[in-house]
Amino acid sequence: MSAFDLSPPSPTQRQQLIDGLNGEERRVLLEHGTEAAFCGVFLDNKLEGVYTCRLCGLPLFRSSAKFDSGTGWPSFFQPYDDAHVKTIRDTSYGMIRTEIVCARCDSHLGHVFPDGPPPTGERHCLNSVSLGFTEHGAPLPDPLHRGGAEAGTAD
C-alpha cells in the first residue's frame, strides 16, 4: 500500500489544477493525446530525482528506473510504486495497447509495453508533458495540500 494519499482530488481541486495547464498539457493529460517523439523536455534528463504527475504531483517514476529506449519518449522499467499507476486497455488506432494513467487523478501518462530491460521487462513510455520533475533532496510537489508523504523530499 502506498504511503501517499491516492484519493482523487475534489471537483474544485481538480478544476483548479486543470486551470493551471496549457493547451498541450490539456490535450495529452485530459484527452489522452501523445506528444511528438524526440521533443519532450525530459527525454534526455540525466538528473537524479523523481518524476511526478504534472496534474496532481503524485510520484510516478524514479530517475534510477529511467533508460534510453530509443523510442523518442522518456522510458522507465518500473514505477515509483505500482499503486501509483493504473493500466487501461487501449484499442485506439486499430491496435491493442496498455495505457497508463495516474492512479490518483486519472491523467493520461503514456503506455506500457513488455519489451523493457530487466528486472521487470517493462517499458513505461511517457509523455514529458504529463510529468513534473523534482531533483533529489528537493521537496515533492503537494498541489493538493495533503501533507503526509507528500511533504517529503525526492529520493
Domains and CATH numbers, the chain: 11-138 (2.170.150.20)
What was the pLDDT predicted at 92? 81
Establish whether 56 is an annotated binding residue.
yes
Tell me if residue 125 is catalytic. yes
Residue 114 main-chain phi, psi, to 5 deg: -90, 40
Q: What is the mean pLDDT of the chain?
A: 95
Establish whether 105 is an annotated binding residue.
yes
Report CA torsion sign: 24, 13, 126, 28: negative
Q: Is 57 helix (H, G, I), strand (E, B) or coil?
A: coil
Beta strands in the chain (DSSP E): 49-53, 59-62, 66-67, 75-76, 85-90, 97-102, 108-113, 123-126, 131-135
Selecting among 112, 125, 129, 131, the annotated active-site residue is 125
What was the pLDDT predicted at 49? 98
Strand ordering across the sheet containing 49-53: 59-62, 49-53, 131-135
Cα separation, 87 vs 113, in Å, equals 11
Cα separation, 124 vs 130, in Å, equals 13
**CA nearest to 108, candidates 5, 13, 11, 31:** 31
What is the tens place of the pLDDT at every residue in 74-98? 999 999 999 999 999 988 878 888 9
**pTM, rounded to two decimals:** 0.94
Q: CB count, 10 Å around CB of 14?
A: 16
What was the pLDDT predicted at 151? 80
What was the pLDDT predicted at 150? 85
What is the tens place of the pLDDT at every residue in 47-63? 999 999 999 999 999 99
Establish whether 102 is an annotated binding residue.
yes
Averages of pLDDT over each 10 residues, the chain, 155 residues = 91 96 97 95 96 97 97 97 95 87 98 95 97 96 89 84
